[in-house]
Amino acid sequence: MPNKEPQCCEKFKTMIGGQALIEGIMMRGPEKDAVVIRTKDGLTVETTPRKVNPPKSLKSKPFIRGIFNFFDAQVVGVKALLRSADLAPEEMQEEPSKLDAWLEKKLGNEKFQQAVLWIAVALGLCLSVGLFFLLPMVISSFFDKWIPNNLVLNLVEGVIRMVIFFLYMIAISRMGEMRRLFSYHGAEHKTIRCYEAGLPLTVDNVRMQTRLHPRCGTSFLLVVMVISILVFSIASSALLAVFPGLEAMRGSFGYRLVMILFKLLLLPLVVGITYEINRWAGGHDNGFTRILTAPGMWMQNFTTNEPDDSMIEVGIAAVQAVLPEVEGADRW
């Protein structure tokens, strides 16, 4: 019978977190990052020092730091995913295509890896923005003739965005090749839950934890979508007030194009605001923060699966690899 998932007795909140990889987990701590992969020879653990921006740096300023941290997380995450593909068991690796072989020959292995990394990051960002923001904007723009109220129109856009996001998550959760990846995602959450409960990191202790975690990236994405409704509503109303001539164009292709481009330019601001909200919510536990993280927690029922013991061992190794030298330095 499956283990019953008890409530996590959280003693403190840690900034340690990561993501699932191909047969492994990437974990980020306050001082270093770690990629832990299960190979045919056992666990392979690779750690790299983490670059931390000084407090006076522009990249550390509130609302701005969220933009840099989000982009940095994408680069580090894709890099770790590509590395896991290299370290994964041979039966899970794909033969390089003729184009890959040609590019590697022309660019050299190091430059080829860099090119693949940046192409993967760019494609990932384009897919996310296109599917979860641009597409809902385009669909909702066709309602502007009948919905003159900007708040209502942006609410419609937000609902469309949420529906697309939910359907996408549910669809990929049913893909056979994603099940194992989501199990490693569950192992990551369970291990962090065990660590935050102050329990020794053993397979038995980790196994008993819930696989849902309030500070998961899924929660971040959902909050981004909610904040976008508020920001887009306020900003679009301000734009129409400053340029009243736009109102007369409502329903035209030009009006729709201007509003879509304007909202796309606001996305960094949305990310920056969401980062600050999540940063605050991550350090507090009350009724409001539980309501704020509840949709993301529910969504994790689709993006995480129960891990087996071998996956839990990977999670334990990943957390142990990034623990700070000074105890408590990783507190949220």
146-177 pLDDT, tens digit each: 888 888 889 999 999 999 999 998 898 888 77
Q: Which residue bears the tokens 């590697």?
A: 104
- Return the HEC string of 236-284: HHHHHHHCCHHHHCCCCHHHHHHHHHHHHHHHHHHHHHHHHHHHHHHCC
Does residue 305 contact residue 179 with C-beta atoms inside 8 Å? yes
Does residue 322 contact residue 29 with C-beta atoms inside 8 Å? yes
The DSSP code for 7 is P
Tell me what pLDDT residue 2 has.
44
Q: Say yes or no to pLDDT of 232 above 60.
A: yes
Q: Say yes or no to pLDDT of 286 above 70.
A: yes
Does residue 289 contact residue 281 with C-beta atoms inside 8 Å? yes
Burial class of residue 296 (count of CB atoms within 10 Å of its CB; 0-12, 13-18, 19+):
buried
The percent of residues in the chain predicted with pLDDT above 90, rounded, is 44
Mean pLDDT, range 236-256, rounded to an integer: 88
Within a 10 A sphere around the Cβ of 149, how many other Cβ atoms?
10
Q: Which residue bears the tokens 């897919």?
A: 127
Query: Using 50, 70 and 90 to split pLDDT, how confident is the model at 5?
Result: very low
Tell me what pLDDT residue 3 has.
46
Give backbone dihedrals phi and psi of 34, rounded to 5 degrees, phi first: -140, 140
Q: Say yes or no to pLDDT of 54 above 50.
A: yes
- Report helix, strand or coil for 146: coil
Say how far apart CA 29 and CA 321 lie, in whole Å. Answer: 9
> Is the pLDDT higher at 16 or at 98?
16
Position 7, amino acid:
Q
* Mean confidence (pLDDT) of the chain: 86
Query: Using 50, 70 and 90 to split pLDDT, how confident is the model at 41?
Result: confident
Tell me what pLDDT residue 104 has.
56
Say how far apart CA 208 and CA 306 lie, in whole Å. Answer: 11
- Report helix, strand or coil for 307: coil
Largest CA distance in the chain: 68
Sign of CA dihedral 190, 31, 310, 171: positive
Say how far apart CA 169 and CA 296 lie, in whole Å. Answer: 12
Burial class of residue 3 (count of CB atoms within 10 Å of its CB; 0-12, 13-18, 19+):
exposed
Query: Using 50, 70 and 90 to split pLDDT, how confident is the model at 59?
Result: confident
Q: Mean pLDDT check: name the lowest of 59-63, 114-118, 181-185, 214-218.
A: 114-118
Please write the tens of the pLDDT for every residue from 96-128.
555 455 455 555 566 756 777 778 888 888 988
Number of residues in the chain:
332
Of the ranges 22-31, 48-57, 143-152, which is most confident?
Answer: 22-31
Say how far apart CA 296 and CA 293 lie, in whole Å. Answer: 5
Segments making up each domain of the chain, as ranges: 17-322
Half-sphere exposure of 93 (CA within 13 A, CB side): 13
245's CB contacts (< 8 A; 6+ apart) are: none
